[in-house]
């Protein structure tokens, strides 16, 4: 089959391609509208990003500080730990506790007993530590965390027993509230 026109009215492939490749009058791309279009696209992108940030702030409540809801477990520290005087052999011990491993009614001043469980390697046993401790503060989990931090005033020996254990549990026991 011939590529050239056969004068029967139907153009050949080469002629059709040359017509497609040649610029047509009135259809030349307007190069002046390209920067305007790009500016418009950038403006739309900025608006979308700002809308997303605004929506994220709105959904998060606008602040990152925890709000006191009146629940005892999320209360702010009431005892000034830095100004509290420790006796010889005492320490402030921070205990990371999962929700459900302590009574939800736990508040500053409660006397608690620490229950230790086996560590991750399986060594040890579940047991109550003989020392009772006094809760100094209860801090709720951070935004990405899941554990509460309960600071207690206790004998120094308790710190090593806690460090050598697995997950901890706290139980409120009868004692003197400070």
Q: Is the pLDDT of residue 6 over 60?
A: no
Q: Are 52 and 103 in the same domain? A: no
CA distance 138 to 81: 12
The mean pLDDT value of the chain amounts to 76
- How many alpha carbons lie under 13 Å from residue 84 in its C-beta half-sphere? 20
Q: Are 55 and 80 in the same domain? A: no
Q: Is the pLDDT of residue 66 over 50?
A: no
Structural domain includes residue 143: yes
Structural domain includes residue 25: no
CA distance 73 to 135: 11
Q: Are 39 and 82 in the same domain? A: no
Q: Are 114 and 37 in the same domain? A: no
Q: Are 88 and 148 in the same domain? A: yes
Q: Is the pLDDT of residue 94 over 60?
A: yes
CA distance 138 to 115: 17
The model's confidence at residue 76, banded by pLDDT at 50, 70 and 90, is very low
pLDDT at 31: 61
* Helical segments of 3-141, H only: 13-21, 33-60
* Helical segments of 73-131, H only: none
Do 159 and 93 meet the contact criterion of CB atoms below 8 Å apart? Answer: yes
Structural domain includes residue 142: yes
Weakest mean pLDDT among 66-80, 125-139, 155-169: 66-80
Q: Are 168 and 83 in the same domain? A: yes
Q: Are 59 and 76 in the same domain? A: no
Structural domain includes residue 76: yes
Weakest mean pLDDT among 9-23, 41-55, 70-84, 131-145: 70-84
Structural domain includes residue 134: yes
Cβ burial of 158 (10 Å; 0-12, 13-18, 19+) is buried
Q: Are 112 and 49 in the same domain? A: no
Q: Residues near 152 by Cβ (< 8 Å), separated by ≥ 6?
A: 92, 93, 95, 112, 114, 133, 134, 135, 136
Structural domain includes residue 120: yes
DSSP 148: E
pLDDT at 155: 87
Structural domain includes residue 14: no
Q: Are 104 and 123 in the same domain? A: yes
Q: Are 57 and 101 in the same domain? A: no
Q: Are 161 and 77 in the same domain? A: yes
Structural domain includes residue 167: yes
CATH number, residue 87? 2.40.30
Tokens, residue 24: 């047509």
Residue with tokens 């999962």: 98
Task: Count how many domains the chain has.
Answer: 2
Q: Are 80 and 151 in the same domain? A: yes
Residue 81: give the domain boundaries: 72-172
């Amino acid at each position: 089959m011939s590529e050239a026109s056969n004068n029967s009215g139907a153009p050949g492939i080469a002629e059709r391609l040359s017509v497609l490749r040649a610029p047509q009058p009135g259809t030349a791309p307007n190069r002046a509208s390209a920067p305007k279009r790009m500016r418009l696209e950038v403006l739309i992108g900025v608006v979308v990003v700002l809308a997303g940030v605004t929506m994220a702030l709105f959904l998060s409540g606008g602040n990152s500080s925890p709000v006191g809801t009146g629940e005892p477990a999320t209360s702010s520290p009431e005892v000034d730990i830095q100004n509290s005087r420790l006796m010889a052999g005492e320490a402030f011990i921070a205990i990371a506790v999962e929700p459900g491993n302590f009574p939800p009614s736990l508040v500053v001043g409660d006397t608690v007993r620490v229950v230790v469980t086996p560590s991750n390697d399986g060594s040890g046993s579940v047991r109550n530590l003989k020392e009772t401790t006094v809760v100094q503060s209860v801090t709720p989990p951070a935004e990405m965390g899941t554990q509460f931090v309960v600071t207690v005033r206790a004998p120094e020996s308790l710190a090593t027993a806690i460090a050598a254990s697995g997950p901890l549990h706290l139980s409120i026991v009868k004692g003197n509230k400070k």
